[in-house]
């Protein structure tokens, strides 16, 4: 692992990993000319829509931080991005958040229609587990791979991400108690980000102590990432975010700045990122890139 | 295994297995009082809506036919029913088949709204894989369990069930070529029924020869079941089917009788079921209950 303490190094590492993840995603999605064409084109349209690949990055970094290889964590990285993408496709539907654009492009249902968008989301979620169970040669023992399936399914399901989205839909237009908002964020975005680190750790053969470091880091980074996202929605320019900003407020979405105030949001994000860096200190050199990633989130402007 | 050659014996066995499957489903769904309440209530509403539990039955029978135990196959049985239920919840949505009733009860989105119905389907699909990866004590080796995950994910995904539903949505109002209709059925309903037998076989430690028997049986029973379903939609009384009959024709759905004619449909169903019985003959006594199940499908009137 090269020294990733400087911003430039991290940006280079992230670009390199992103290319590897994109190639792996391409290899693990059915080809666009495989019938039925529409479903496969819709899946690819949404997966290759310019995402940051944060979850794959966390899985790869988490795995390397405990001594595993990129190859060990790649199935989890690919699966996590497929699950994240499916959640966006379904969240954008008219019956849910009703968004016409994401990352500057028309959303899946605007291009392919609602029925195909629902099915494309379903297929991406299903394919994620297909990838995790892939019988290709892997250095990760089968029992560990089942643990990764359980970890990711728990985080993505009704006690995690889907539960958080349910709360979010039901909370629209309501003023949330601070504790309720924290639960919503922990489920809706926190659970899968936490699971990304943990899946990487499991793939890399982490012991309990190392898993605890990655878990502590993942929980704090996850919440900080959400807070920064909410702040950018208020402050960011439309061009940078690729979607209309201020959209949370227009939809009366419950956000961290709305509940706690903008200054508290900034302060809490900085504190959480400091705690995240502290959490991976016991990993030594392995954790350097995770520290750099926390810096990156802190400086994020889009 | 009691002698299941007579209709009465099979009915008793099916009732007993159905009770076991329902208890296992109850144990593997989050409680209705677990927040967020709505999503868990919606999941349970649709799972406990009076389904026949055909897929769990096939998994349990397939496992026992090759010498495995009910316990070996129960995670697959539960997962298959969760996946089948999610597919019905999503298929019923206004953007898809737009059905207000199923099995005589209002559909999930009529009771809980579209957003929650989409999310309940997502959560059921996710929980299915959580169950398959469950780290509880099981006699099935981890590598076999990963094979079961792969088998079910492949059958449920864009090359199987979701792909079939995509074809079905796009074919509405069109006259299909016979070959296209067979592909549609093989994907939409056939793939998961075939996978039910195969998942049971894998859980029971089947060798390649036994897997081939179960696969041949599953493919024929699956298509026959769909044909009988289509015939019953034309002939059955509304009370027996629990939904409006003739609904396929009203929606201009492509069905086997519509493409091949009613007499050919009856003849082909009988032939497929005879072939299914023949396919499991090499399993000897283990296959008796599968033979009885083929008889049961042939006599099915609702």
Which residues contact residue A243 at a Cβ distance below 8 angstroms, ignoring those fewer than 6 apart?
Answer: A99, A101, A102, A103, A104
A32 → chain B, closest CA residue: B158
**Is residue B1 very low, low, confident or very high in pLDDT (cuts 50, 70, 90)?**
very low
pLDDT at B175: 84
pLDDT for the residue numbered A127: 98
Worst-scoring range by mean pLDDT, A42-46, A285-289, B254-258, B292-296? B254-258
Give the per-residue pLDDT at A244: 56
Write the residue in A125, A129, A141 that is nearest to B149 by C-beta. Answer: A129
Please, are residues B125 and A126 in contact by the beta-carbon 8 Å criterion? Answer: yes
Average pLDDT over chain A reads 92
B33, B78, B95, best to mutate vs chain A, most A CBs in 10 Å: B95
Closest chain B residue by Cα to residue A109: B95
Q: What is the pLDDT of residue A174?
A: 83
Query: How far is Cα A182 from Cα A18, in angstroms, rounded to an integer?
Result: 30
Sorted by where each starts, the structural domains of chain B and their CATH numbers stand as 7-299 (1.10.600.10)
Average pLDDT over residues A15-43: 97
Smallest CA–CA distance from B109 into chain A, residue? A95
Asked if A34 and B159 come within 8 Å (Cβ–Cβ), the reply is yes
For residue B36, name the pLDDT band (cuts at 50, 70, 90): very high
Contact B38 A121 (CB under 8 A): no
At residue B34, the 3 state secondary structure works out as coil
pLDDT of residue B246: 67
Mean pLDDT value across chain B = 92
pLDDT digits (tens, 9 = 90+) for A155-175: 999 999 999 999 999 988 888
Is the per-residue pLDDT at B56 higher than 80? Answer: yes
pLDDT value for A4: 42
Confidence bin at A102 (pLDDT 50/70/90): very high
Min CA distance, A20 vs chain B (Å)? Answer: 23
Distance from CA of B135 to the nearest CA of A (A): 7
Mean pLDDT confidence for A140-161: 97
Gap between the Cα atoms of A211 and B3, Å rounded: 52
Q: Is the pLDDT of residue A243 over 60?
A: no
For position B253, what pLDDT does the model report? 77
A42-51, A238-247, A260-269, A274-283: segment of lowest average pLDDT:
A238-247
Given the DSSP bridges, would you call strands B105-106 and A101-102 parallel, antiparallel or unpaired?
A: unpaired
Of B119, B121, B134, the CB nearest to A166: B119
Nearest to B133 among A39, A153, A165 (CB): A153
Q: Which residue in A has a C-alpha nearest to residue B154's C-alpha? A: A130
Nearest CA among A46, A44, A23 for reference residue A32: A44
pLDDT of residue B130: 98
Task: Please give the average per-residue pLDDT across A133-157, as a whole number.
Answer: 91
Alpha-carbon distance A9 to nearest alpha carbon in chain B (angstroms) = 37
Q: CA A119 to CA A169: how far, in whole Å?
A: 20
Q: Who among A122, A142, A150 is closest to B135 (CB)?
A: A150
Q: Which residue of A28, A30, A32, A36 to mutate against B (max B Cβ within 10 Å)?
A: A36
- pLDDT, one tens digit per residue, over B208-226 is 999 999 999 999 999 999 9
Higher-pLDDT residue of B293, B235: B293
Does the pLDDT at position A267 exceed 90? yes
CA–CA min distance A96, chain B (Å): 5
- pLDDT confidence tier of residue A245, bands split at 50, 70 and 90: low
> With pLDDT > 90 as the criterion, what percentage of chain B qualifies?
82
Selection from A298, A58, A293, A28 nearest residue A195 by Cα: A58
Residue A137 main-chain phi, psi, to 5 deg: -55, 130
> Angle CA(A162)–CA(A165)–CA(A169) in degrees, nearest 5?
140
Tell me what pLDDT residue B95 has. Answer: 97
- Is the pLDDT reported for residue B301 higher than 90? no
Give the whole-number percent of chain A exceeding pLDDT 90: 81
Write the pLDDT tens digit of every residue in B72-93.
Answer: 999 999 999 999 999 999 999 9
CA A270 to chain centre: 20
A5 pLDDT tier (thresholds 50, 70, 90): very low
């Amino acid at each position: 692992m090269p020294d990733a303490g400087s911003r430039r190094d991290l940006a280079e590492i992230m670009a390199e990993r992103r290319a590897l993840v994109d190639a792996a995603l391409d290899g693990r999605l059915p080809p666009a000319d495989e019938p039925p064409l529409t479903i496969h084109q819709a899946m690819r349209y949404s997966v290759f829509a310019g995402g940051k690949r944060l979850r794959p990055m966390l899985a790869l970094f988490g795995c390397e931080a405990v001594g595993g290889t990129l190859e060990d964590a790649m199935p989890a990285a690919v699966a996590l991005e497929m699950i994240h993408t499916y959640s966006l496709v379904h969240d954008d539907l008219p019956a849910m958040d009703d968004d016409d654009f994401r990352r500057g492009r028309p959303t899946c249902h605007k291009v392919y229609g609602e029925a195909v968008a629902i099915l494309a989301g379903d297929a991406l979620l299903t394919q994620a587990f297909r990838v995790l169970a892939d019988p290709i040669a892997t250095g990760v023992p089968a029992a560990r791979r089942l643990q990764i399936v359980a970890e990711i399914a728990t985080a993505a399901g009704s006690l995690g991400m889907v539960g958080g989205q349910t709360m979010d839909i039901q909370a629209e237009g309501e003023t949330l108690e601070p504790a309720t908002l924290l639960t919503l964020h922990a489920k809706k975005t926190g659970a899968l980000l936490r699971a990304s680190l943990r899946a990487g750790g499991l793939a890399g053969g982490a012991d309990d102590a190392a898993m605890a470091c990655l878990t502590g880091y993942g929980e704090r980074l996850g919440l900080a990432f959400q807070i920064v996202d909410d702040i950018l929605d208020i402050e960011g320019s439309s061009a940078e975010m690729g979607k209309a900003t201020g959209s949370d407020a227009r939809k009366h979405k419950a956000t961290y700045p709305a509940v706690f105030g903008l200054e508290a949001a900034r302060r809490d994000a900085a504190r959480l990122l400091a705690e995240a860096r502290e959490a991976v200190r016991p990993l030594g050199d392995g954790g350097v890139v995770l520290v750099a990633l926390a810096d990156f989130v802190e400086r994020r402007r889009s």
